[in-house]
Amino acid sequence: MKDISIYFKPISDISDATGALIIDTHIHNEDGFPELKDPGIAIIYVPENRRSESGLTGSNESFREEFYTFSPGDKWNFSIYDLGTIAPGESVEDTYFALSQVVGELVKANITPVIIGGSQDLIISSYKGFESLEQMINICSVDSSLDVGEPSDEVKSNGYVSHLLMQRPCYLFNYANIGMQRLMVPAREVDLFDKLFFDICRLGAFNSDFRIAEPYLRNSDLLSVDFKSIKNADSDSLRYKNTNGFKSDQICQIMKYAGMSDKMSCVNILDVDPKQSRSASNLLAQMIWYFADGMAQRVGDFPIGNKLNYKKFHVGLEDFEEDLVFYKSDKSARWWLEVSYPAGEGAKYDRHHLVPCNQSDYDNALKNKIPNLWWKTLQKLT
């Protein structure tokens, strides 16, 4: 692994924290940078807000003090590293470069970066950290907006998706949004997602059944959570404006689902206001905790290679030549839908032709209804 310690400043004093986590975490402090030798998660604070449309300034590390009042969950058999802070560089691009280098090295070492702080445009840096892997990846955003923006404009916190699409070479296979509120999104952005066969799970649909979000998270390599998507009464009414966002328990459930995903390799919790209240910092700390707790419950059942430990279901449909093929894991009872990819594509789509789904997709197929995710995935594969 390259030396990434050069990008970090040690964390400030957290001597008031008394929870067991402070004992179990490898912390970058005045004693030096921790040795990154075992798989786990790495907490990183990046207070880079120069591209924020909200005019955020400053930094706030109180989430750390809250996190270190907690105790670890059951079966946390991985390492936790707190690497400190990547301070904003002389230019925003300097910060982007530092973060992308850090993400790339950690992901290759099987250490999941949990990036806290700055504006949503930092997702570009996390994405670029995956470029060295040279594999197609999926991104999931938890956000009330789609943040498409214009590729001709400067990348910013509320306009970065178009810049992701313009990256060359492009390794983005799918982009999913959880929590969109239609009143906050221009129709042209929704239309673009439809044309690109990307996924949208509206907040209302999530509120009706939170379990529908799990397959999107299970299918993703990279997660971006906009802290402003949380209901302001559950975070900080003085700093945030969203009156109909996610509830605090819902956002923690999302983080746990993300942790349980075998594919999830990088997490960003962004647009955190440096001037937010201590209660909001406590919620942020709980989100990190629930992600870690989800990781402890991974069962390694993403069905690549041998599928002996899965039940295979063939569903025939009227006016459809081939059966739909579903797999159900014996370990977790989770479902996948198989979508064949074109001959000659080799291993390029190996990680994407088995699509996480819910049992309801199988049940609907039995009623002769083709799952929408099958159609969308087929379009991207072809």
* pLDDT at residue 306, as a whole number: 66
**Averaged over 188-205, what is the pLDDT?**
96
The region of weakest confidence among 74-88, 285-299, 300-314 is 300-314
Would the pLDDT of 102 be above 90?
Answer: yes
Interval 208-257: pLDDT, tens = 999 999 999 999 999 999 999 999 999 999 999 999 999 999 999 999 99
Question: Cα–Cα distances in Å, from 351 out to 272, 338, 361?
Answer: 32, 11, 20
Per-chain mean pLDDT for the chain = 93
**Domains of the chain (ranges, CATH numbers):** 5-295 (3.40.800.10), 310-381 (no CATH)
Give the span between the Cα atoms of 211 and 193, in whole angstroms. 22
Interval 373-382: pLDDT, tens = 999 999 988 7
Question: Cα–Cα distances in Å, from 180 out to 184, 215, 245, 256, 371?
Answer: 8, 17, 9, 20, 21
* pLDDT at residue 275, as a whole number: 94
Confidence tier at 347 by pLDDT (50, 70, 90): low
Would the pLDDT of 15 be above 70?
Answer: no
* pLDDT at residue 301, as a whole number: 86
* pLDDT at residue 342, as a whole number: 65
Phi, psi of 26 (to 5 degrees): -85, 105
* pLDDT at residue 355, as a whole number: 93
Strand 79-85 to 111-117 pairing: unpaired
Comparison of pLDDT for 145 and 20, the residue scoring more = 145
* pLDDT at residue 24, as a whole number: 87
Give the span between the Cα atoms of 261 and 302, in whole angstroms. 9
Interval 121-178: pLDDT, tens = 999 999 999 998 888 999 999 999 999 999 989 999 999 999 999 998 899 999 999 9
Burial 336-375 (b: 16+ CB within 10 A, else e): bbbbebeeeeeeebebbbbbbbbeebbebbeeeeebebbe
* pLDDT at residue 13, as a whole number: 72
**Averaged over 25-47, what is the pLDDT?**
95
Comparison of pLDDT for 321 and 131, the residue scoring more = 131
